[in-house]
Chain A
Amino acid sequence: MSPVTLDWPTRLSPTCIERDAALVELRVLLIKGLHTGLSGRAGADEGFIEDVAQMSLVRILDHLHTFEGRSTFITWALAIALRVAFIELRRKRWNNVSLDELKERNPDLNDATDPSPDPQQQASRASLIQLMHRLIQSELTPLQRDVLLAELNGMPQDEIATQLGRTRNTIYKLGHDARRALKQAFENAGYSVADMLSVFTETSPQSHP
């Protein structure tokens, strides 16, 4: 038998006689990659990986026409499989948490401690936090505020999308619009981004939600 010379998209196309063999081969590669990528993750057992590989194959076939050959096919397929896997893992972790619970969970800003030992730095920080709080209320829509709160609490975008009945792209756009609106409002209030970051990155124990 001659060695395989056809490219993956051709082999996976509905009319190719190699399609079944290609699907089996791709599934094995995905499972191997998922084992490596998900090793040590809670909930990523053998059954989970098999299910994810199957869901990924469906998605890969659905999106075959979008593969442009800018990377190897396997890297492209693995990126899709990992997206599918993490969506499922995050769903398992977050499906018992509601947005309403997150709103109730958040303490008032006045209770927040200030990590800076410098009184002047504390004052700058406190005034910026107050301004931020005001701008969040005045510049953002209720939906943008909900998305922002959920994101800052670490809720995955897919879960926010499900709970709000939107798509993940819409959730990203709502968060992006909220950040842009706040950035503009700070600049209108006379603060540059550099000013804000100098106050916050010097005192902040973590810089990401």
Chain B
Amino acid sequence: MSFTSEQIDGLMSLIGITRESELNCNECLHHVAEFAECELTGKHIPEALEAVRHHLTLCLECKEEYDELMKVLRSMGPAA
């Protein structure tokens, strides 16, 4: 099995931000609503939620879902 140059680049970037302890996708989903509302209202992100931000930099799938969640929340206005 081989990897292309672009894949190696992507992997190097991921290795660079790899931590010993990370949230998995289900754990990210469990906290992402709170994280999204903090981001939306400009509230301080509690230390415990920083792991969500980290997961979103690593996981393109959760990031894709998060981006759309933010789009939906913004469309609903401040009452969301």
Interface residues of A (CB under 8 A from B): 33, 36-38, 66, 70-72, 74-76, 78-80, 82-83, 86, 90, 103, 106-109, 112-115, 128-129, 132-133, 136, 145, 148-149, 152-154, 156-157, 168-169, 172-173, 176, 179-180, 182-183, 186, 193, 196-197, 200-201, 203-209
Q: Report yes or no: A176 in contact with B22, Cβ–Cβ below 8 A.
A: yes
Least distance between B32 CB and chain A CB atoms (Å):
5
Contact with A along B6-42 (1 / 0, CB 8 A): 1111111111101010101110011111101100000
B26 touches A168 (CB 8 A): yes
Please indicate the chain A residues that have their CB under 8 angstroms from the CB of B72 in the complex. Answer: 33, 36-37, 78, 82
Evaluate contact between A172 and B25: CB separation under 8 angstroms.
yes
Chain B residues with CB under 8 Å of A168's CB are 24-26
B residues contacting A by CB (< 8 A) are 1-16, 18, 20, 22, 24-26, 29-34, 36-37, 59-61, 64-65, 68-69, 71-73, 75-76, 80
Q: How far is the CA of A36 from the CA of B73 in the complex (A)?
A: 9
Q: How far is the CA of A168 from the CA of B1 in the complex (A)?
A: 23
Decide: A148 and B11 in contact? CB cutoff 8 A. yes
Interchain nearest-CB distance for B4 vs A (Å): 5
Residues of chain B contacted by A207 (CB below 8 angstroms): 9-10, 13
Q: Could you say which residues of chain B place their CB within 8 Å of the CB of A37?
A: 68-69, 71-72
- Within the complex, what minimum Cβ distance (angstroms) separates A204 from chain B? 4
Q: Is the CB of A196 within 8 A of B15?
A: yes
Give Cα A78 to B60, complex, Å.
Answer: 18
| Interface pair A36/B71, CB less than 8 Å apart | yes
Separation of A86 and B80 alpha carbons in the complex (Å): 22
Instruction: List, sorted by A's number, 30 A–B pairs whose CB atoms are closer than 8 Å.
Output: A36-B71, A70-B33, A70-B34, A71-B36, A79-B36, A82-B69, A83-B29, A86-B61, A109-B3, A112-B5, A112-B8, A145-B1, A148-B11, A153-B7, A157-B25, A168-B24, A168-B25, A168-B26, A169-B26, A182-B11, A183-B18, A196-B15, A197-B13, A203-B9, A204-B9, A206-B6, A206-B9, A207-B9, A207-B13, A209-B10
- Find A196's partner among B1, B16, B25, B73 (CB 8 Å cutoff): B16
Q: Is the CB of A75 within 8 A of B37?
A: yes
User: CA A82 – CA B63 in complex, angstroms?
Assistant: 11
- In the bound complex, residues from chain B placing their C-beta under 8 Å from that of A112 are 4-6, 8
Contact B4 A107 (CB under 8 A): yes
